[in-house]
Amino acid sequence: IRSTRKRVIKWMRKMWNLKVIGPTLPSMYLDKRLEDDIDYGLNLFEANHNEYRNWLNDKPEKSVVYVSFGSIAQLGQEEMEEVAWGLNDSDVNFLWVVRATEEDKLPKDFVDVIKTGKGLVVPWCGQLDVLAHKSVGCFVTHCGFNSTLETICLGVPINKSPHVLIFPFPAQGHINPLIQFGKRLLAKGVKTTLITTIYIFNTNLPHNTTSIEIKAISDGFDEGGYASSDSPESYLKTFKETGSKSLSNLIKKLQSEGNNIDAIIYDSIIIWAIDVAKEFGIHGGSFFTQACGVNSIYYHVHKGLISLPLGTPISVPGLPQLESWETPSFVHNCGPYPAWAEVVFNQFNNIDQARWVFTNTFYQLEEEVCFALSFSLICMPQWTDQITNAKCLEEIWGVGVRTKADETGKVRRENLVSCIREIMEDESGVVAQKNAAKWRELAKAAVDEGGSSDKDIDEFVSELIKG
């Protein structure tokens, strides 16, 4: 397994000027070299931090199951009920994040469970804050790669100051990793400006929690963002048309004010950003927020090396053999989300025009095939790369267990109870905890001075200075 994972990095390095710079988490959870850097960045929703912190403070160490399915995924009514009663039947303390738009799916009499104090349901929380709390012993997750990386770390003087624009896709799991990368660049003496949408700028971004300068452009949905669009197709089309013009105007404005721009580091799915950069003679860098193995699958599909629809199991360098249903949802069932499937496959269309390619991981993770978690995971994937991440978490990284859906595609309460007990009570949970301590140190070492990710960031800064 180790040799195949090494091939992923080597394969990507042969094709692109790859920089492996993760994990992109606040320094205080890792190497502690950036003083007081504890804030991750964007929270899409309001959170009552005192409520859940006080509740966690009253619970014994490693006794709480934390449950969150991210900022986008939606569970059906039946699935919500199964999770609710599964948590109740598991007889453990639980903290469950249920967004306000999902609350009406909770069973009506589930409020009686909450009143006992055994569980707490909140509309949002600071995930790193929760994961770092001593009372949390297990994470039931949708297996988004950045949520997974968040768990990893909880379990050169220069005369010229380069200027970099960082441009994430306007979604929390994309914005926060680039904010953290920006903080690392700032610490190296690189002026860093975050580009986000007007809607995100006005409603969600904590302007006072980072020294990164923030500028806003229009995505065509200034009042309501992505949620106010008619469809993914509508949003993506308008974002490209309006966003490219707005980004171009912003660059002109910055340059007219005497700001030299040396590079634009853009989210890999915003492929039109490199075209804007080229108009101004600015170097571009593509930033992948997903795992290298998942990107490898998308690339093989893009190049026609994996044919769709899938039939037999597939083999991709760096990953074990994958059954059809274990591939990202856009690969085995792109029907419900054709616009997003097109985006993830086409992110390689003009990547050869990017001077750099960045990936939010670290060498030990991709080569040693393990996560440095402070506790174990229960994987309940919903869509995109989450399904493949879940397989890796259980079978390769050995730090979690996957829930099993029935013939209707639903995870039943009995299975969730079984998974929780396996992690919280059985020997497999103990083994995962031991693995966690070992790999946690590797994650910290990667971003510490002289670590693999730190070296790649230094190399990038050096290339900026040379021009």
Q: Taking the mean position of all CA atoms in its chain, how far away is CA 427?
A: 29
Counting Cα atoms < 13 Å in the Cβ hemisphere of 34 gives 25
The residue length of the chain stands at 467
Catalytic residue among 31, 133, 142, 174: 174
Label residue 168 left, alpha or beta by phi (over 0 means left) and psi (-120 to 50 means alpha). Answer: beta
**Token reading at 214:** 């923030």
In the structure encoding, which two tokens stand for residue 4, read together? 């195949």
SS (H, E, C) the chain: CHHHHHHHHHHHHHHCCEEECCCCCCHHHCCCCCCCCCCCCCCCCCCCHHHHHHHHHCCCCCCEEEEECCCCCCCCHHHHHHHHHHHHHHCCEEEEECCHHHHHHCCHHHHHHHHCCCEEEECCCCHHHHHCCCCEEEEEECCCHHHHHHHHCCCCCCCCCCEEEEECCCCHHHHHHHHHHHHHHHHCCCEEEEEEEHHHHHHCCCCCCCCCEEEEECCCCCCCHHHHCCCHHHHHHHHHHHHHHHHHHHHHHHHHCCCCCCEEEEECCCCCHHHHHHHCCCEEEEEECCCHHHHHHHHHHHCCCCCCCCCCCECCCCCCCECHHHCCHHHHCCCCCHHHHHHHHHCCCCHHHCCEEEECCCHHHHHHCCCCCCCEEEECCCCCCHHHHHHHHHHHCCCEEECCECCCCCECHHHHHHHHHHHHHCHHHHHHHHHHHHHHHHHHHHHCCCCHHHHHHHHHHHHHHHC
Examine the residue annotation and report whether 174 is marked as an active-site residue of this protein: yes
Q: Does 267 participate in catalysis according to the annotation?
A: yes
Close Cβ partners of 376 (under 8 Å, ≥ 6 residues apart): 137, 138, 139, 399, 400, 401, 423, 429, 432, 433, 436
The answer to whether 348 and 33 have CB atoms below 8 angstroms apart is no
Return the number of other C-beta atoms located less than 10 Å from residue 208's C-beta: 7
Q: List, by residue number, the catalytic residues.
A: 174, 267
